[in-house]
């Protein structure tokens, strides 16, 4: 799954949209602060004299993960006399307002410089990014831009199990997974990570993205990536007219004619997880009925586990 930026309008192209707080100043261009002629929009962390600037926004994390917050900051030229004093604190807080990561930023250069703050999210939940003004409260503060919090929930497609939804990456041999025929034990699990170099050498390895709600309300419940060949169970009157039955397994690539389903060429890597049962089964990925690995008689004779583990195209189910 490609990384997702959890921060809305971290470039301030839409001024303060997506941000809340006090004394927010995000309506000026970089040139107003640095005198460099740039029309790039930024935010200043000292809006008005006598007021403390605070900018924050909340976001949801769907599982525990480690990543880093990145951003650019500079000292405006009018504050050169306070270099080392003007700046802001960066904090990430959990839903109980406990700080789980923080950084003090006191830029001294009159050009945007990159900063990063490592952060580990211990569990799924709602978190808040907060920036708070530091230094002389004289309306001449540091500026900030390009705030990103990139999170990649690889292997985080959820499968329905008797104990609830479980990330595909955590499914192990022997686990029970809900199928159309009730709970079934997993007999084999295959995993494969494809690097950008592998995908670029064969464009057919780009996955198909099925956006949340593409099949109707809450189906799938979250964005879902599958290989082109992987089949989804489709039910509609059209299927009945075309195939004589209302439920048909359709390869994902043939679904790209529908809105919000497309080949996702933005991925930088892909993690596939494939599961095998005693029989071919229909499982539920993000709530959507989807096939498990199907081995025909000849494939069962000719393919050993190691060969399947090496085969890129075999791992065509879930991430």
DSSP class of residue 123 equals S
Give residue 195's pLDDT.
79
CA contacts within 13 A on the Cβ side of 97: 0
CA distances from 285 to 21, 97, 297 (A): 38, 33, 26
In CATH terms, are 20-148 and 153-303 the same topology? no
Give residue 304's pLDDT.
41
Question: Cβ distance 199 to 185 under 8 Å?
Answer: no
Number of Cβ atoms within 10 Å of the Cβ of 49? 11
Strands 41-44 and 176-179: unpaired
Give residue 35's pLDDT.
94
Residues 6 or more apart whose CB falls under 8 angstroms from that of 80 comprise: 110
Which of the four CATH numbers 3.30.9.10, 1.10.3470.10, 2.170.16.10, 3.40.140.10 does domain 153-303 have? 2.170.16.10
Domain boundaries, the chain: 20-148, 153-303
Give residue 146's pLDDT.
95
SS3 4: strand
Question: Cβ distance 131 to 45 under 8 Å?
Answer: yes
Alpha-carbon gap, residue 4 to 27, rounded angstroms: 26
Number of Cβ atoms within 10 Å of the Cβ of 225? 23
pTM: 0.54
Alpha-carbon gap, residue 27 to 16, rounded angstroms: 7
Report the CATH number of the 20-148 domain: 2.60.120.260
Rounded to 5 degrees, what are φ and ψ at 81?
-70, -15
Alpha-carbon gap, residue 163 to 175, rounded angstroms: 10
Question: Cβ distance 36 to 65 under 8 Å?
Answer: no
Q: Return averaged pLDDT per consecutive 10 residues of the chain, 319 residues in all.
A: 76 96 96 96 95 95 80 96 94 97 97 93 90 94 93 66 87 94 91 80 87 83 84 77 77 91 84 85 91 53 38 36
């Amino acid at each position: 799954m490609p990384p997702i930026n959890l921060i809305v309008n971290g470039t301030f192209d839409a001024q303060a949209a997506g941000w809340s707080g006090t004394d927010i100043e995000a309506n000026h261009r970089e040139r107003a602060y640095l005198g460099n002629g740039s029309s790039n929009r930024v935010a200043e962390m000292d809006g008005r004299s006598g007021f403390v600037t605070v900018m924050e926004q909340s976001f949801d994390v769907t599982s525990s993960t480690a990543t880093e917050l990145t951003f650019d900051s500079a000292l405006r030229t009018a504050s050169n006399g306070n270099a080392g004093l003007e700046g802001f604190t960066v904090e990430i807080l959990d839903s109980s307002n406990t700080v789980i990561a923080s950084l003090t930023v006191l830029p001294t250069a009159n050009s945007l410089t990159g900063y990063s703050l490592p952060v580990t999210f211990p569990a799924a939940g709602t978190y808040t990014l907060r920036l708070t003004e530091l230094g002389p409260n004289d309306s001449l503060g540091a500026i900030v831009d390009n705030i990103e919090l990139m999170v990649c929930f690889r292997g985080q497609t959820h499968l329905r199990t008797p104990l609830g939804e479980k990330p595909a990456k955590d499914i192990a041999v022997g686990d029970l997974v809900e199928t159309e025929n009730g709970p079934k034990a997993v007999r084999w699990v295959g995993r494969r990570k494809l690097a950008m170099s592998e995908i670029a050498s064969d464009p057919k390895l780009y996955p198909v993205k099925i956006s949340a709600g593409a099949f109707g309300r809450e189906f799938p419940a979250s964005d879902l990536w599958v290989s082109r060949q992987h089949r989804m169970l489709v039910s509609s009157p059209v299927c009945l007219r075309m195939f004589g039955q209302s439920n048909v397994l359709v390869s994902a690539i043939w679904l790209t004619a529908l809105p919000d389903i497309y080949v996702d060429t933005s991925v930088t890597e892909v993690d596939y997880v494939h599961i095998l049962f005693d029989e071919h089964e229909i499982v539920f990925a993000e709530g959507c009925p989807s096939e498990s690995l199907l081995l025909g008689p000849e494939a069962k004779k000719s393919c050993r586990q190691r060969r399947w583990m090496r085969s890129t195209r075999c791992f065509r189910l879930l991430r």
